Amino acid sequence: MISLSLSHLADVLGGRLVVRGDDTPDTLVSGLVDTDSRLIGPGGIFVAKPGETTDGHLFVGTAVERGAALAIVERELDDAVSQIVVPDAVAALSDLARDVVARVRDAGPLQIVGITGSNGKTTTKNLLARILEDEGETVAPRASFNNEVGAPLTMLRVTENTRYLVSEFGASAPGAIAHLAGLVTPDVGVVLMVGMAHAGGFGGIESTFHAKSELVKATREGGLAVLNADDPRVAAMEPIARERGQEVRWFGRGERAEVRALDVEVSASGTRADLLVDGEPFTLTLRVLGEHHVMNALAALAAATALGVAAADAIARLETVEIAERWRMQPLGSDRVRIINDAYNASPDSMAAALRTLAQITGPEERTVAVLGAMSELGEYADEEHDRVGLLAVRLRIQRIVVIGPEARRMYLEAIAQGSWDGEAVFFADADAAYDYLSTELRDGDRVLVKSSNSAGLRHLGDRLGDLFA
């Protein structure tokens, strides 16, 4: 974080300053901010956030031992560290992020990109950050830091020398993106797609559309909206952008897109695509598995070139990326038995894309194996969407369908109903039982997809299988 005095921080947070030790109100702090005491270092600022299972106030002592210079708390503590007492620690985190980013922006060349969408946010964020980091100091989220805690923590990593801030915005509820993007007012807003992810929490896909469009509304007037030309709901955000005087830059597969993919070829080693970038031809060879990641690459390329990066340079940097993120289409195992661990997130759209990728990268002498768990946050749509996945797996001729967990059982039942009843589809109550089966069932030439929402916990099963067949 940039250097600020304790008194200034107290004013920004609307809190009561409690000075301890040799500190005074004029003492400057500039360490990294975090809500995890284990990640605090010398000079750091620890935010004592109450949690669902524990209370951050219990770990202030640990933060002090690790060198914390300040604690942001909701009640005064006896610990030997200066404190700012606030009504709401999470709200204080947002207030602090807003102030810090505004100060950096006023003093330097900082440009801010916000990214949202039902799928692909983390991959696109990582691809864009890879492009921009060669242009200047770039701050981007760790993993999927895209909520009311993670997004401000990322913003607080900016310094006076930061040239680009790439923020990823998730939507836990209507208004969440508006709040998070409103902390920084992005110069560029990127909307990837509007799909069924989290639809249960929003009341349907139209409500999801309104939630995702909050980013366009929060992008600064006269800024840039980077929109998916192939998604009708994203394309419908164009009038919102125009009303705010924003330029619209399109990406996609259709003729409308200024950053466009033409022929796309998928293999086990990656994806090749012929591109047109503002009418100029290029070839992209992406190591990240899956045809669907071409769209994420197009979005990153559209944003980067709008920020002044040469298309050839941006494409060369994209080609150095080996995986999007851990547990996202991550190749494990060996050439003998290839495991694709994609079990950090799952929605109907990403599940379908992963299954299609599995079918595309498997040769005629190899066998497709799909290890599937539940998709979360679908609400009333859960049964129907799990049925669709089971149906799709059969239609793609996936040769072994391994379904895990009671929440995912409908995938198995649908696969059985569609004809995969002679051992092609099996069901297990938990990951351990599935591991025991797979450790003896898998054979040379198998290509195995492990796919589920994070809550299903199958990412660890994918890791175990990867180690077993390494």
pLDDT band at 201 (very low <50, low <70, confident <90, very high): low
Whether the pLDDT of residue 104 is over 60: the answer is: yes
What is the average per-residue pLDDT within 127-142?
96
What is the percent of the chain with per-residue pLDDT over 70, rounded to a whole number? 98
What is the percent of the chain with per-residue pLDDT over 90, rounded to a whole number? 85
**Binding site for ATP, residues?**
117-123
What pLDDT was estimated at residue 192?
97
pLDDT band at 449 (very low <50, low <70, confident <90, very high): very high
Q: Cα(2)–Cα(41) distance, rounded to whole angstroms? A: 15
* CATH class name, domain 330-468: alpha beta
Q: Cα(345)–Cα(120) distance, rounded to whole angstroms? A: 10
Q: Would you tell me which CATH number, out of the four given (3.40.50.620, 3.20.20.140, 3.40.1390.10, 3.30.1130.10), belongs to the domain 4-87?
A: 3.40.1390.10
Tell me the pLDDT tens digit for each residue of 238-288.
Answer: 999 999 999 999 999 999 999 999 999 998 889 999 999 999 999 999 999
What pLDDT was estimated at residue 108?
84
Q: Cα(442)–Cα(364) distance, rounded to whole angstroms? A: 17
* DSSP strands (E only) in 94-137: 111-116
Whether the pLDDT of residue 202 is over 90: the answer is: no
> Cα Rg for the chain, rounded, in angstroms?
24
Q: Would you tell me which CATH number, out of the four given (3.40.50.140, 3.40.1190.10, 1.10.150.130, 3.30.479.30), belongs to the domain 92-318?
A: 3.40.1190.10
pLDDT band at 65 (very low <50, low <70, confident <90, very high): very high
What pLDDT was estimated at residue 199?
57
- Four-residue CA torsion sign, 64, 53, 123, 91: negative
Tell me the pLDDT tens digit for each residue of 330-386.
Answer: 999 999 999 999 998 889 999 999 999 999 999 999 999 999 999 998 888 899 999
Residue 98 three-state SS: helix
What pLDDT was estimated at residue 198?
54
Q: Cα(191)–Cα(238) distance, rounded to whole angstroms? A: 11
Higher pLDDT, 420 or 142: 142
Bridge partners, residue 370, by sequence: 401, 449
Query: Helices 292-306 and 121-132, interaxial angle, to 10°?
Result: 40
Q: Where are the domains of the chain?
A: 4-87, 92-318, 330-468
What pLDDT was estimated at residue 144?
76
What pLDDT was estimated at residue 139?
98
Find out whether 40 and 48 touch, Cβ atoms under 8 Å: no
What is the average per-residue pLDDT within 209-237?
97
Report the chain's mean pLDDT, rounded to a whole number: 94
Helix, strand, coil % over all residues of the chain, rounded to 5? 40, 25, 40
Q: Cα(308)–Cα(281) distance, rounded to whole angstroms? A: 18
User: Could you tell me which of 58, 61, 55, 59 has the C-alpha nearest to residue 80?
Assistant: 61
Tell me the pLDDT tens digit for each residue of 296-332.
Answer: 999 999 999 999 999 999 999 999 998 878 888 999 9
Q: Cα(95)–Cα(25) distance, rounded to whole angstroms? A: 19
**Binding site, residues?**
117-123
What is the average per-residue pLDDT within 183-198?
89
